[in-house]
Amino acid sequence: MSQTEEHMTSIHVPSPIIQVRNLGKYYGNFDPAMIERTGPEHGTARDHVTASIVAAWGVNFDVAAGEALGIVGESGSGKSTVLRCIAGDVAASTGDVRLAPFEDGNVNILDLDPSARRQLRINTLSVVYQDPAEGLALGVTAGGNIADPLTAAGWRNFGSIRDRARELLARTEVPLDRMDDIVRNFSGGMRQRVQIARALANKPPILLLDEPTTGLDASVASGVLDLIRQLLEELQVAAIVVSHDFGVIEMLTERCLVMQHGRVVEDALTDQLLEDPHHPYSQKLVAAART
């Protein structure tokens, strides 16, 4: 896999785990000219001629092991679309996405059929959704939700499954005496912790987080955020964190993309984005976050 930016120095840069090139997703009919008719300069992702929506276009980035890349933007920016295209929840319209742990990065995962994409989600790539109900079966116990990816990966020993579930729930600070309670009876913050535990069940090298703390009460959110930060450091996964909240981005990521109307408008070190944003939209977002 190639590097995003050419560098001619001897500084050792870890090779990418996730490589995304030209990722694009549109809804409606395709007309090549609609790309130029949409985007930040036009203030919209919707093409007035075809009524198609260019939800995301021309997205490029790499993520290395142990690195968390942020994607920040307001709703409609395309950030969640990008995440869902990589996750396989949404079929991308175009693009090349390679994952180092899968076939050594030699296969564009966007070309795989849905059943192969589902296989990826068992061992290679996990997703934590904003709404825990999307990543959990609410009528199943906390332990059962963790048993799901384990059995999908071939675990057949009840005792081992229970042990691993306990380990993960302890790590995500879910009280073990609630392991056999159904998730519907958990608070939002607890549900999110169970979702994280479940996402980590098969030790995925890649983790995608979509607004992981949005919707949680502030005090609860900070605990979950802290947990995520610790896990990212411990596990050295390659992570993509999508959020509209700069606090989350600041805490979890070292590099960040800013998206607006489906396009990436800025790609920078996170601290640089927060202190010296270049693009007018980035400046606006950062200024709003600071107040």
Partner 1 sequence: MTLDTAPHTSPTTIAQLVGHRTTETFALLDEESKREIRRALLHAVCIPGYQVPFGSREMPVARGWGSGGLQVTLACVGSDDAVKVIDQGDDEGVNAVNLRRLVTMSTGIDETTEVYEATLIQSRHRIPEDDMNENHILILQVPVPEPLRGIERDIRELARMHSEADYSRMWVSLYEDKVRNGVITQSTGYPCLVASRYIVATTPIPRWDIPRLHQSKFLTLFGAGREKRVYAIPPYTDVEPLTFEDVPFEVESADGATCRLCGSSESFLVEMPGKQESWSCSDTAWCRRQRNT
Partner 2 sequence: MTMTMNKTLPILDVRNVSKSFTLHNIDGRTVTALEDASFVVHPGEHVSLAGSSGAGKSTLLRLIYRTYSITAGSVSFRLANDEWVDIAQLSDAEVIALRGREIGYVSQFLHAQPRRSVIDLVARAGVSRGMSTADAHEQAGHSLARLGISRTLWDVHTSVLSGGEKQRVNIAAGLISPPRLLLLDEPVSALDPENRERAIEVIADLSDQGVAVLAVFHDLDAISRLASRIILMSRGNVVIDGPVDQVLPQLTPGDVQP
Q: Which residues bind partner 1 (CB under 8 A)?
A: 115, 118, 137, 140-141, 143-145, 147-149, 151-152, 156-159, 161, 180
> Please, which of residues 5-64 interact with partner 2 by CB under 8 A?
5, 7, 9-14, 62, 64
From the list partner 2, partner 1, none, partner contacted by residue 180 (C-beta under 5 to 8 A by kind): partner 1
For 137, residues 6+ apart whose C-beta sits below 8 A from its C-beta are 144, 145, 148, 183
Q: How is the beta sheet containing 238-243 ordered, strand by strand? A: 125-128, 206-210, 238-243, 68-72, 255-260, 263-269
* Shorter beta-carbon distance to partner 1: residue 10 or 115: 115
From the list partner 1, partner 2, none, partner contacted by residue 254 (C-beta under 5 to 8 A by kind): partner 2
> Please, which of residues 96-135 interact with partner 2 by CB under 8 A?
none
234 lies in the site for partner 2, by CB under 8 A: no
2 lies in the site for partner 2, by CB under 8 A: no
170 lies in the site for partner 2, by CB under 8 A: no
Distance CA(122)–CA(257), nearest Å, equals 27
Least separation in angstroms between residue 65's CB and partner 2 is: 12
Query: Measuring CA to CA, which residue among 72, 77, 24 is closest to residue 256?
Result: 72
Angle between helices 218-235 and 188-199 (to 10 degrees): 10
Token duo for residue 290? 């600071």
SS3 sequence of 225-268:
HHHHHHHHHHHCCEEEEEECCHHHHHHHCCEEEEEECCEEEEEE
Segment near partner 2 (CB under 8 A); pick from 30-38, 119-127, 135-143, 279-287: 279-287
Total binding residues toward partner 2, as defined by CB under 8 A:
34
Distance CA(150)–CA(39), nearest Å, equals 42
The Cβ of residue 78 has, within 10 Å, a number of other Cβ atoms equal to 27
272 lies in the site for partner 2, by CB under 8 A: yes
Question: Token match 């192969």: residue?
Answer: 116
271 lies in the site for partner 2, by CB under 8 A: yes
263 lies in the site for partner 2, by CB under 8 A: no
> Please, which of residues 210-229 interact with partner 2 by CB under 8 A?
226, 229
For 182, residues 6+ apart whose C-beta sits below 8 A from its C-beta are 138, 139, 140, 141, 142
* Shorter beta-carbon distance to partner 2: residue 104 or 226: 226
From the list partner 2, partner 1, none, partner contacted by residue 4 (C-beta under 5 to 8 A by kind): partner 2
* Shorter beta-carbon distance to partner 1: residue 146 or 251: 146
Distance CA(66)–CA(90), nearest Å, equals 26
Note the residues at the interface with partner 2 (CB under 8 A): 3-5, 7, 9-14, 62, 64, 67, 226, 229-230, 233, 250-251, 254-255, 267-269, 271-272, 275-276, 278-280, 283-284, 287
